[in-house]
Amino acid sequence: MFNKLISQILPYVPEKVVWVFSKQYIAGETIEEAVQAAKNLNAEGIMTTIDVLGEFIKNLDEAEANKHEYLEVIEAAEKANVDGNYSLKPTSFGLLIDKDTAYRHIREIVEKAASYNNFIRIDMEDSPCTDLEIELFRKLKEEFPKNVGLVLQAYLKRTHQDIENLKDLNSEDAPLNFRLCKGIYVEPASIAYKKYEEVNKHFLEDIELMFQEKMYPAIATHDKPIIEGAYKLLEKYKVPKDKYEFQMLYGVTPALRKSILEQGHRMRVYVPFGKKWFGYSTRRLKENPEMASVIIKALFYKG
């Protein structure tokens, strides 16, 4: 009840108040702020993936504007020699309005990144988007084998089979690059694991399959048991340090992040920015009220 109450109240709280805690987890509103945040992380030996906040647009004019913003982000980050790549949400480009238009916009962004020998990560959104986003990824991967990756969500019961189904795209020269996270959207129990132990078990099973198939997993977690489990799998399969990475969110668990780096593992931090940070944050809270307690803690305990 407390979490639900907070999730309902927060959208009406002045943005300046919400920004007090949000600024720990969002790089800023401008491209310049995002690039500077990425450079600061690079100075610590951390790679980045820059993401423009926003999704679920209402019309295709917004999709066009989002495409141009991403092209500007890539230009600015490459000019600044940022050690990082880029993440995007297909619904920001009209996936649920016109999937062909969304494909054309995203293809142009991938082509731009490829011109710099760089990489675009296709984020996975809620379950109505899953098949569409896998289809989009498959099409782009066939044309740009080294320049596009996908996010998968361990709590979805289908994910292990999705990895199996995409094996035909895997190759030694251009291994499948999957960012595996737990998943944040509220999904029905019929399609998603709900228990903490269940999700963790399947997370590690998915990572193990990727190692077995010599894919490139980006292990996206702040959960110590998963990190410890990943260490054991790395040892079991003798995985070279350049064949995987860990990923974390901007501003979250910096001490744990540092410990992973100190053990010699590659680390990439997800750097979100943009003027739509407030709507993005409050919408996420409405979708998943359990996040409210995390937000309250963030007001008092940095990181």
pLDDT of residue 21: 67
Q: How do beta strands 267-273 and 245-249 pair?
A: parallel
pLDDT of residue 283: 63
pTM confidence score: 0.91
- The span from the CA of 247 to the CA of 137, in Å, is 20
CATH number of 33-273: 3.20.20.220
Residues 99/136, Cβ–Cβ less than 8 Å:
yes
pLDDT of residue 12: 74
Full pLDDT tens readout for the chain, 303 residues: 666 676 677 767 777 777 776 777 889 999 999 999 999 999 999 999 999 998 789 999 999 999 999 999 999 999 999 999 999 999 999 999 999 999 999 999 999 999 999 999 999 999 999 999 999 999 999 999 999 999 999 999 999 999 999 999 999 999 999 999 999 888 999 999 999 999 999 999 999 999 999 999 999 999 999 999 999 999 999 999 999 999 999 988 899 999 999 999 999 999 999 988 877 666 656 655 666 666 556 555 555
> What does 10-57 look like in DSSP terms, one character per residue?
GGGS-HHHHHHHHTTTS--SSHHHHHHHHHHHHHTT-EEEEEE-----
By three-state DSSP, how is residue 84 classified? strand
Residue of 51, 107, 121, 123 marked active site: 123
Domain boundary assignment for the chain:
1-26+279-303, 33-273
Q: How do beta strands 216-220 and 267-273 pair?
A: unpaired
Residue of 107, 121, 179, 268 marked active site: 179
pLDDT of residue 186: 86
The answer to whether residue 179 is catalytic is: yes
The answer to whether residue 104 is catalytic is: no
Count CB neighbours of 32 within 10 A.
12
User: Which amino acid type is present at position 300?
Assistant: F
